[in-house]
């Protein structure tokens, strides 16, 4: 695990776009209602992660958890010794191309050991990402999925749901921004009328505003965990005109303020 940790830290120092994220803290983080937009692999390298309201699942250092998409999940990131350190890799729909997706009952998560083979595969993925063109990232992610299946974790192939209207709108907000996007643009991109769009979203038990709020707060959480941007800059990037409004919405969703989250990453 030491070599994988070293590879990650070396790559992060390059300050370039990467197909993975790293979440760290030196104090415990307790987060409510964390949205998982896409299938997500979390590899805990230091400390432990607890998932669920009553510690339903614990992922220790040297283990991984693979999560399917979910509108809301409670998490605790708990440091051990110096820090909590986890590698996160989000998977897109194209990353599953060529794999035999199973239609059996969808699993919400699976947990397993980070074996020597998986560690080497992740290390190669990290190192290759520093020089490989972005177009190759998907094929390298597919290798990770294939290896996990080979290791006996084929259940991950049930974790890719259908690409819904909700998913498409979520991607639009992330790619286009939260101020520029309006319902007329969304309807044009989806080639449907406003009434049809609202009816389809009702069948998916959601709405444009719910999707927008989930996307912007999910992005805000990610930026606070992975960047040094000030809270006001994060608020602006997520479409909030007022940092105080952003703080209010963030605390209502996650159970703590952006400042409180940032303090878990700082020494006293």
The whole-model pTM stands at 0.94
Task: Give the pLDDT score at 55.
Answer: 63
Residue in 15, 23, 14 with CA at minimum distance from that of residue 41: 23
Return the pLDDT at 172. Answer: 94
* Topology agreement, domain 2-158 and domain 165-263: no
Model confidence at 98, in pLDDT bands (50, 70, 90)? confident
Question: Would you say residue 233 has pLDDT above 80?
Answer: yes
Across 9-13, 157-161, 219-223, the highest mean pLDDT is recorded for 219-223
Task: For residue range 111-158, list pLDDT tens digits in order.
Answer: 999 999 999 999 999 999 888 899 999 999 999 999 999 999 999 998
- Counting Cα atoms < 13 Å in the Cβ hemisphere of 30 gives 5
The pLDDT assigned to 240 comes to: 95
The larger pLDDT score, comparing residue 107 to residue 111, is at 111
Domain borders along the chain are 2-158, 165-263
Question: For residues 16 and 152, which has the higher predicted lDDT (pLDDT)?
Answer: 152
Kindly state the average pLDDT of the residues 24-35: 96
| pLDDT of the residue at 246 | 98
What architecture (CATH level 2) is domain 2-158?
Sandwich (2.60)
The pLDDT of residue 143: 96
**Residues above pLDDT 90, as percent of the chain:** 75
Q: Is the pLDDT of residue 14 over 70?
A: no
CATH 1.10.10.60 applies to domain 165-263? yes
């Amino acid at each position: 695990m030491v070599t994988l940790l070293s590879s990650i830290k070396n790559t992060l120092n390059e300050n370039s776009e990467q197909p993975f994220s790293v979440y760290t803290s030196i104090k415990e983080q307790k987060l409510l209602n964390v949205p998982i937009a896409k299938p997500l692999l979390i590899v805990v390298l230091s400390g432990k992660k607890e998932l669920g309201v009553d510690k339903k699942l614990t992922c220790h250092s040297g283990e991984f958890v693979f999560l399917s998409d979910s509108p809301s999940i409670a998490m605790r990131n708990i440091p051990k010794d110096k820090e909590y350190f986890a590698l996160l890799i989000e998977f897109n729909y194209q990353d599953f191309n060529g794999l035999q997706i199973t239609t059996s009952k969808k699993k919400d998560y699976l947990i397993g050991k980070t074996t020597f083979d998986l560690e080497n595969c992740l290390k190669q993925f990290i190192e290759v990402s520093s020089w490989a063109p972005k177009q190759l990232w998907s094929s390298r992610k597919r290798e990770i999925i294939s290896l996990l299946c080979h290791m006996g974790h084929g259940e991950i192939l049930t974790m890719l749901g259908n690409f819904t209207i909700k998913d498409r709108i979520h991607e639009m907000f992330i790619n286009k921004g939260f101020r520029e996007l309006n319902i007329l643009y969304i309807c044009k991109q989806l080639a449907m009328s406003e009434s049809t769009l609202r009816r389809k979203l009702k069948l998916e038990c959601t709405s444009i505003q719910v999707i927008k709020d989930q996307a912007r707060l999910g992005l805000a959480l990610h930026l606070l965990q992975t960047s040094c941007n000030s809270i006001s800059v994060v608020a602006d990037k997520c479409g909030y005109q007022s940092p105080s409004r952003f703080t209010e919405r963030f605390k209502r969703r996650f159970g703590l303020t952006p400042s409180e989250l940032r303090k878990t990453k700082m020494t006293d």
